Amino acid sequence: MTMNRDALFPGSFDPFTMGHKSIVDQGLRLFDRIIVGVGANSDKQGLLTTENRVRLINDIYNDNPRVVAMPYDGLTGDFCRTLGLAFLLRGMRNTVDYEYERSIMLINRKLYPEITTVLLFTPPEYVAVSSSAIRELVGFGHDTVDLMPDNIDIKNYL
């Protein structure tokens, strides 16, 4: 199989945040295209449907053909392989993320030796941004526009 310079950025993205966008934007310096894979089988409590998580991301990158979001079921490595991608992109805020990401990377390296995990750092202004914080703010009726890219109004995706 011929490998390209495209990467899969997998996650729950419930919802996609400024922090996630910072990883995609840095990733675009390394990769030709970034496929944002929205995992549909997460056992996390959901705020948005998978379809709306994908729509939100594609709305943000509407003008950029190098970024596309799509849903997937099953294991991330299998989806990466199905797409013929050699790189898994993930973001890291702190040492907690580091330990978690490292454990996933080690499993993926064993199962999918042809796939390389690339971890990028969050810029300091987004270290405290998380999907779970946004979900909590939305639950209490607070505005989340500063934490989301492009003045996205989450109410349009609930």
Give me the least distance between CB of 41 and ligand ADP, in Å please: 11
Sole window of 8-16, 28-36, 77-85, 107-115 interacting with ligand ADP (rule: CB under 6 A): 8-16
> Residue 143: left if φ>0, alpha if ψ -120 to 50, beta else—which one?
beta
> Residue 140: left if φ>0, alpha if ψ -120 to 50, beta else—which one?
alpha
Give me the least distance between CB of 2 and ligand ADP, in Å please: 27
Give how many residues touch ligand ADP by CB under 6 A.
Answer: 19
Q: Which position among 49, 68, 83, 97 is part of the footprint of ligand ADP (CB under 6 A)?
A: 97
Binding status of residue 90 toward ligand ADP by CB under 6 A: yes
Binding status of residue 19 toward ligand ADP by CB under 6 A: yes
End-to-end CA distance of the chain: give it in Å, rounded.
Answer: 40
Q: Which position among 6, 7, 8, 13 is part of the footprint of ligand ADP (CB under 6 A)?
A: 13
Q: Which position among 6, 131, 152, 154 is part of the footprint of ligand ADP (CB under 6 A)?
A: 131
| DSSP 8-state code for residue 139 | H
* CA 55 – CA 138 distance, rounded (Å): 18
Question: Which residues lie below 8 Å from residue 32, measured CB to CB, with a gap of 6+?
Answer: 4, 5, 6, 66
Binding status of residue 52 toward ligand ADP by CB under 6 A: no
Binding status of residue 117 toward ligand ADP by CB under 6 A: no
